[in-house]
Amino acid sequence: MQSKLIELFDTTLRDGTQAEAVSLTVRDKIIIAQKLDDFGIDIIEGGWPGSNPRDEEFFNEIQKVKLSHAKMCAFGSTARSLDKIESDPNLVALIKANTPYVSIFGKCWKFHSETALGLSPEQNYELIYKSIKYLKDKDRTVIFEAEHFFDGFKDDPAFAIKMLEAAEAAGSEVITLCDTNGGTLPSEIKFAIEKVKKNTSKSIGIHAHNDSDLAVANSLTAIESGAVHVQGTINGVGERCGNANLISVIPNLLLKMNYTTKNKIQLSQLTALSNSVYEIMNLNPNTRAAFVGKSAFAHKGGIHVSAVLKDSKMYEHINPLLVGNKQRVLVSDLSGQSNIKYKAKEFGVDVDANNEFSKKLVSHIKELEFEGYQFDSAEASFELILRNERNEFTPFFNTIDSRIYTFFDNDRHNNAEAVLKIEVDGEIEHTAAEGDGPVNALDKALRKALLRFYPEVASIKLVDYKVRVLDGKEATAAKVRVLIESSDGETTWSTVGVSTNIIEASWQALCDGINYKLYKSYRSSNKKLVNT
């Protein structure tokens, strides 16, 4: 079967920046544009040059950047007045942006045209026609964004389609149908596009919002119904509930629907692209995101893991390597021997020939998880348990004594002091440190105590610290679970502690975090380890 060609239009730098808590500098936008170009996106919508100085500066700066594949596009609206087309500030700014493509939106919902702009159908038609004609006369490739098309089509089909005819008559190369409010169902998308196809010879595009959690489904339905141009954002970021997520749209098109794209897509970089954009936007990645999430190919149930080890197709819809992701097996109270063997192999430990060891370790893990530990999010702690059970690891230090003092007053001044007595290879180190709170003070005191024995400790930084109350009914006597993520600048690892005392739980996780780093640093050396 011959594959069909789709044009990919990315609006992360325009529609994506309208998302709550997202703010990009000009430099941020240039970096993202370069990543989109490297990935293989066809058209990159860079912003609205007539709306703010930052976007105007971006279009000035991006002209200095040599893109390999992608074409830049500036976004704007139809003119504000019929009698001032050539002097309209918005249209003038679009030309000044000096991009080969221009996307311009116009009203396709009669209610909007009459209420928001106060225009008759004839005047709205003329406004769309003249605005696009002006841009065409300036030698721009125009993509018409039919704003609120699907709402307008449901309200007055004749009006909505008439506005598309205005765009076509003026020379728009692509007519993009917008589900601006994100409330349209896939069946409605299909019906509308089939009607539009009968009334235009131009390429049809789809621009879907996610207010009904259907943006990806609506985009794929539109393509199945005849659209050849799809718009969206990386990770689905955008106004309100976001836009169609290209991170999901693209692999579905390429891997499951037999479509190709104008530029060759580097699909194995999909996960890296998703994570990079999250990082630049200072957003936490969605761990459960389809295709690219950390949990997308994670297996926890013992029966599932046993099947995956025989043939991953049993519980994975694609090979994760195709999208740059990886298979993960989690260790938890749902684990079986398959989980343990898989994780052990991942750590370079072969336990295949020792079923008794696997059974014993599974039983031990399940007991710990029953107490509240969670190893699917703390794999470093799990590896230390595994190594300890195999007599390959003992802690690098013993705690002889620890004391915490906290101070606070009504003026909200607070402080904490930790006093520690640590033993390393028979030597005692007695030290103290102040911190913003008891955990911070403990962390500082422990590093201070260990530094002369293990200089590597200086490179360890706490990246994240989470506390969860395990049974709120117990109120202040409840057990808590502390998860700590640590990093040495090159790798990150997570550890866990559980106790009815939040300080003790934190201490467990802190100690595991440092022991893990030291184990990785010293496991190939002959350095003597202390005994527990």
Q: Does the pLDDT at position 332 exceed 60?
A: no
Q: From CA 500, how far away is CA 477, in angstroms rounded?
A: 6
Q: From CA 383, how far away is CA 512, in angstroms rounded?
A: 10
In this predicted structure, what is the pLDDT of residue 334?
A: 47
In this predicted structure, what is the pLDDT of residue 313?
A: 74
Block residue for tokens 């500082």? 444
pLDDT tens figures, 509-521: 999 999 999 998 8
In this predicted structure, what is the pLDDT of residue 194?
A: 96
pLDDT level of residue 526 (50, 70, 90 thresholds): very low
Q: What is the mean pLDDT of residues 311-325?
A: 85
Mean pLDDT (the chain, rounded): 88
pLDDT tens figures, 105-139: 999 999 989 988 889 999 999 999 999 999 999 99
Percent of the chain past pLDDT 90, that is, above it, reads 64
Q: From CA 13, how far away is CA 43, in angstroms rounded?
A: 12
Tokens in use for 382? 């799990």
More confident call, 457 vs 360: 457
Neighbouring C-beta atoms of residue 241, cutoff 10 Å: 14
Tokens in use for 38? 């490297």
pLDDT level of residue 279 (50, 70, 90 thresholds): confident
Strands 414-424 and 398-408: antiparallel
Question: Are 510 and 380 in contact, with CB atoms under 8 Å apart?
Answer: no
pLDDT tens figures, 216-234: 999 999 999 999 999 999 9
In this predicted structure, what is the pLDDT of residue 351?
A: 64
Q: Does the pLDDT at position 92 exceed 90?
A: yes
Tokens in use for 68? 């390999």
In this predicted structure, what is the pLDDT of residue 253?
A: 97
Q: From CA 198, how far away is CA 206, in angstroms rounded?
A: 17
DSSP three-state, residue 254: helix
Question: Are 248 and 291 in contact, with CB atoms under 8 Å apart?
Answer: yes
In this predicted structure, what is the pLDDT of residue 531?
A: 38
List strands edge to edge, sheet with 461-469.
Answer: 461-469, 480-487, 492-499
Of 416, 449, 407, 439, the C-alpha closest to 507 is 439
Q: From CA 157, how far away is CA 159, in angstroms rounded?
A: 6
Q: What is the mean pLDDT of residues 331-342?
A: 57
Q: What is the mean pLDDT of residues 375-390?
A: 82
Question: Are 276 and 35 in contact, with CB atoms under 8 Å apart?
Answer: yes
Tokens in use for 327? 């298979």
Tokens in use for 9? 């239009």
Q: What are phi and psi of 276, to 5 degrees?
A: -65, -45
pLDDT level of residue 355 (50, 70, 90 thresholds): low
pLDDT level of residue 412 (50, 70, 90 thresholds): low
In this predicted structure, what is the pLDDT of residue 532?
A: 36
Q: What are phi and psi of 528, to 5 degrees?
A: -70, 135
Q: Does the pLDDT at position 475 exceed 60?
A: yes
Q: What is the mean pLDDT of residues 429-453?
A: 92
Q: What is the mean pLDDT of residues 373-392?
A: 82
In this predicted structure, what is the pLDDT of residue 368?
A: 78
Terminal CA-CA length for the chain: 66
Q: Does the pLDDT at position 142 exceed 80?
A: yes
> How many residues comprise the chain?
532
Q: What are phi and psi of 304, to 5 degrees?
A: -60, -45
Question: Are 451 and 471 in contact, with CB atoms under 8 Å apart?
Answer: no
Tokens in use for 378? 């703390």
Q: Does the pLDDT at position 309 exceed 50?
A: yes
More confident call, 410 vs 467: 467
In this predicted structure, what is the pLDDT of residue 367?
A: 75
DSSP three-state, residue 402: strand
Q: What is the mean pLDDT of residues 415-431?
A: 92
Cβ neighbourhood burial of 207 (10 Å; 0-12, 13-18, 19+): buried
Least confident stretch, 12-26, 171-185, 390-404: 390-404
Q: Does the pLDDT at position 388 exceed 80?
A: yes
Q: Does the pLDDT at position 294 exceed 90?
A: no
Q: What is the mean pLDDT of residues 416-424?
A: 93
Residue ranges with strand state E in 409-478: 414-424, 427-435, 461-469
In this predicted structure, what is the pLDDT of residue 383?
A: 87
In this predicted structure, what is the pLDDT of residue 99?
A: 98
pLDDT level of residue 489 (50, 70, 90 thresholds): confident
In this predicted structure, what is the pLDDT of residue 2?
A: 57
pLDDT level of residue 390 (50, 70, 90 thresholds): confident
Domains, the chain, ordered by start = 11-280 (3.20.20.70), 298-371 (no CATH), 398-522 (3.30.160.270)
